Amino acid sequence: MSMRDAAEQYLELRRSLGYAMAGSGRMLLDFASMLDSTGQRAITIEAALAWATENKAATPGHWRARLSVARGFARHLNTLGPASQIIPQDLIPAPVRRKPPYLYPADEIAALVHAAGLITTPAAAAGMQAVVSLIAASGLRLGEALGLDRDHVSLRDGVLMVTGKNGQARMVPLHPSTVTMLARYAARRDQLCPQASPAFFVTRAGRRMQQRWVDETFARLLALAGIAAPPGRRRPRIHDLRHTFAVETVAGWYRDGRDVQAHMPLLSVFLGHSGPEATYWYLEAAPALLSQAAARLEPGSQPHDQRGGTAAGRPS
């Protein structure tokens, strides 16, 4: 059996247990193909380290992620026969730092939606406007939004049935304005693509929108909207709309004088996090924003929603 065949069997096993293994799966198949090309029938620390660090321009964090993929595969192979070497956990020391998100103010979200409307293909324009608006208003992951089928979207009840990480499903309620926006998109979609797939968001050919196309298109929307990365920061991403939703939700609770600690589990469920500890990161992600929110609670301050209605659907 080739190493790639073994890797595919390993991925099949992991996915049967509920793990998506999307990006890591692609990395693993690349690693296995490299082993096959060099005639190796077992994983060595030297081979895994060379593969993990082959892109010298990448960050240590990226190297660690690749080495983790090789480590898991090596551990699996050792259950079948002790031939592969065990890869140490601390082979590539690198501090785990989450890069701070880009937080979109309301006018930039409006500018992105407007820029999407300038796309020359009507179906693509309508789809990108709806996807950007939905993520900004609900905090969905991009993959969750694109994975929606028509029967997952109940416009009558104002609820989405979302499949998140590891196949976990959750109900996401929508603000009436978001329901109206999705209904408008659905009518436009059916007019332009009458023979479309069961997917809710489709291309002009009637097929499900793909994440790579959306990411590439969103990069162009940033330029059209005049949105650039702050000095020394990475380019804003569509995923940062999710971060913005989460941070603004927490800031809104501060402004309203709510018990943020008591509400965090609700936000965790709403966002599809495994637990509140994953959501608490947002408290550290935008300290300046939360400081401003806390300051508004001082005597004489007036609550004010910076984003207007863009956070439709945020948990209350």
Q: Which one of the listed residues 10, 185, 282, 314 is annotated catalytic? A: 282
Tokens of 167: 């196949």
Please give the Cα distance from 294 to 309 (Å, whole number): 21
CA dihedral 44, 48, 50, 52 (to 10 degrees): -170
Task: List Cβ neighbours of 255 (8 Å cut-off, separation of 6 or more).
Answer: 293, 296, 297, 303, 304, 305
Our answer to whether residue 242 is catalytic in this structure is yes
Q: Which one of the listed residues 14, 66, 189, 273 is annotated catalytic? A: 273
Our answer to whether residue 114 is catalytic in this structure is no
CA nearest neighbour of 271 among 175, 157, 135, 156: 135
Surface-to-core class of residue 103, CB atoms within 10 Å of its CB (0-12 exposed, 13-18 middle, 19+ buried) = buried
CB atoms under 10 Å from CB of 120, counted, come to 6
Tokens of 129: 């406007």
Tell me the backbone φ, ψ of residue 156, rounded to 5 degrees: -65, -40
Residue 156 per-residue DSSP state: T
Q: Which one of the listed residues 4, 64, 66, 141 is annotated catalytic? A: 141
Our answer to whether residue 10 is catalytic in this structure is no
Cβ pair 219, 229 in contact under 8 A: no
Q: Which one of the listed residues 165, 175, 204, 208 is annotated catalytic? A: 165
Q: Which one of the listed residues 66, 71, 242, 263 is annotated catalytic? A: 242
Our answer to whether residue 273 is catalytic in this structure is yes
Q: Which one of the listed residues 15, 239, 280, 296 is annotated catalytic? A: 239
Instruction: Supply the residues annotated as catalytic.
Output: 141, 165, 239, 242, 273, 282
